[in-house]
Amino acid sequence: MLLVFDIGNTNMVIGVYKGKELLTYWRIATDRQKTADEFGMLLYNLFEYKNIDPKEIDAVIYSSVVPPIMSALEEMAEEYFKCQPLVVGPGIKTGIPIMYDNPREVGADRIVNAVAAYEKYGGPLIIVDFGTATTFCCVSAKGEYLGGVITPGVNISMEALFQKTSKLPKVELLTPPRVIGKNTVHAIQSGILYGYAGMVDGIVKRMKKETKARNVTVVATGGMAEQIAENSETIDHIDKLLTLEGLRIIYERNKN
């Protein structure tokens, strides 16, 4: 079985594959202070809860945008699963040509998403990932990674609004009853939810116009994908586990 890690700045998503089947997954907080032993025992507990035998794990792959956490995770893979982990980065076969000025600058998660989305939906396509940052990635009909857009994520914006104002409260992101808020909480929720949906639609339309491509598929992923996508005019598919699937595909392309 294959153990996959999508390590983001706020959360990491961990999945277990048996062949092409995703058996289970977990979303946990990204803790830069955890040791290899703490990660190992956490995973053993999660495995026990799902009745998965850790001894059946014979491969591990990571995609990370948090370099400080990697040494502990690599040590954990070797100690607890007896695997030398595969890390998505320079030198890894992805099947996606990267048309960036400096390909090393592209976050591993963005490449992994592009691999999965192109495999599942074909091209041309735009991937919108609602993570700590909201990213837009453009892939050509030939499967080339053309580049993209990076904006502050939903939670960052909400946290900044709370921290940088004296009277505005921290609120839960729920869909308000109407766009025009009748109280402060609903006004903030409306601003964040519909503001981000409008931003997504605006950027996607500009990207489509710039590429001059026809029949562009737009795929949303990440923790906030469903809430924003249901208010968007341009998103075609919601695929919250896109990155895990990309990790599986990249592992298959590199295992021999």
The one catalytic residue in 6, 31, 109, 236 is 109
3-state per-residue secondary structure call for the chain: CEEEEEECCCEEEEEEEECCEEEEEEEEECCCCCCHHHHHHHHHHHHHHCCCCHHHCCEEEEEECCHHHHHHHHHHHHHHCCCCCEECCCCCCCCCCECCCCHHHCCHHHHHHHHHHHHHHCCCEEEEEECCEEEEEEECCCCCEEEEEEEECHHHHHHHHHHCCCCCCCCCCCCCCCCCCCCHHHHHHHHHHHHHHHHHHHHHHHHHHHHCCCCCEEEEEECCHHHHHCCCCCCCEECCCHHHHHHHHHHHHHCC
CB atoms within 10 A of CB 158: 20
Catalytic residue list contains 109? yes
- Give the residue among 198, 171, 199, 201 at the shortest CA–CA distance from 186: 171
Q: Looking at the DSSP assignment, which residues form a beta bridge with residue 129? A: 135, 221
- Whose tokens are 């298959």? That residue is 252
Active site positions, annotated: 109
